[in-house]
A and B are shown apart, each in its own frame.
Chain A
Amino acid sequence: AQSVTQPDIHITVSEGASLELRCNYSYGATPYLFWYVQSPGQGLQLLLKYFSGDTLVQGIKGFEAEFKRSQSSFNLRKPSVHWSDAAEYFCAVRDYKLSFGAGTTVTVRA
């Protein structure tokens, strides 16, 4: 069965610093992978997705993610974090259904 692990429950980062959120998945075939962001009190917004092709995918809000099959990872990165990036981030993998990781909460300090 497919599964997603986000090893970091909470990350604190300074504004302007870089951010990397880890995601590891378990899935037998080529996965469809997603990163969603949930701002406080809001619904889920799709940041980016990987289906095939180039393993480095660009998303909205300056985020990117790299698919590494050998490591079963799909880590999310942003070179310079803004205060508005404070949110909860979810990695997800899909075959016939979408399975989510437990989420990583990002706090941005001034």
Chain B
Amino acid sequence: EAQVTQNPRYLITVTGKKLTVTCSQNMNHEYMSWYRQDPGLGLRQIYYSMNVEVTDKGDVPEGYKVSRKEKRNFPLILESPSPNQTSLYFCASRDRGEVHEQFFGPGTRLTVL
């Protein structure tokens, strides 16, 4: 089954404790991205990657890092989480080209205390 998976689905952590949210897709997509969803703000892009070893900032990159060492994986790293990073996070992927739809993962609910 074609899908985007994220782990963990739920995470409660404390300020300053480094964490990684994994994202993996099995569709051989070149383009992957991370979004955060906050009430009243919709989804905002954090980082995106056009291909392996190619990443770039989205609209709200501060406090986040990403890496793209393999085509299928695109982890989101919070080196020193803060409470304002409490949010719902979505990973997404799509094939190269304008007409391809974006597939979303199930989301990761992160709470930073």
How distant is the Cα of A51 from the Cα of B100 in the complex, in angstroms? 10
State whether A103 touches B90 (Cβ < 8 A).
Answer: no
Give the shortest distance, in Å, between B41 (CB) and chain A (any CB). 6
**Contacting pair A97 B45 (CB below 8 A):** yes
> Which chain B residues (80-113) contact chain A, with CB distance < 8 Å?
90, 92, 98-99, 101-102, 104-107
B33 touches A97 (CB 8 A): yes
A residues within 8 Å of B by Cβ? 4, 6, 9, 32, 34, 36, 42-44, 46, 49, 51, 90, 92, 94, 97-103
Q: Which residues of A are found within 8 Å of B40, using beta-carbon distances?
A: 9, 102-103
Q: Can you list 11 A-B pairs with a CB-CB distance of less than 8 A?
A: A32-B99, A34-B102, A42-B106, A43-B105, A49-B101, A90-B42, A92-B43, A97-B58, A98-B92, A99-B45, A102-B42
> Digit string of B34-71 for contact with A (CB within 8 Å is 1, else 0)?
01000011111100100000000010000000000000
- On whether the beta carbons of B98 and A102 are closer than 8 Å, the reply is no
Looking at the assembled complex, report how far the CB atom of A103 sits from the nearest CB atom of chain B, in whole angstroms: 5
Q: Is the CB of B107 within 8 A of A98?
A: no
Nearest-neighbor residue (CB-CB) of A91 within chain B? B42
CA–CA, A97 and B101, complex, Å: 11
Q: Return chain A residues, CB-CB under 8 Å to B98.
A: 32, 51, 94
A98 touches B45 (CB 8 A): yes
Nearest Cβ in chain A — how far from B25, in angstroms? 13
Residue in B closest to A43 when the chains form the complex, CB atoms: B106
A34 touches B101 (CB 8 A): yes
**Residue from the list A6, A34, A43, A97 in contact with B90, Cβ < 8 A:** A43
Choose among A44, A51, A94 the residue that contacts B104 (Cβ–Cβ < 8 A).
A44
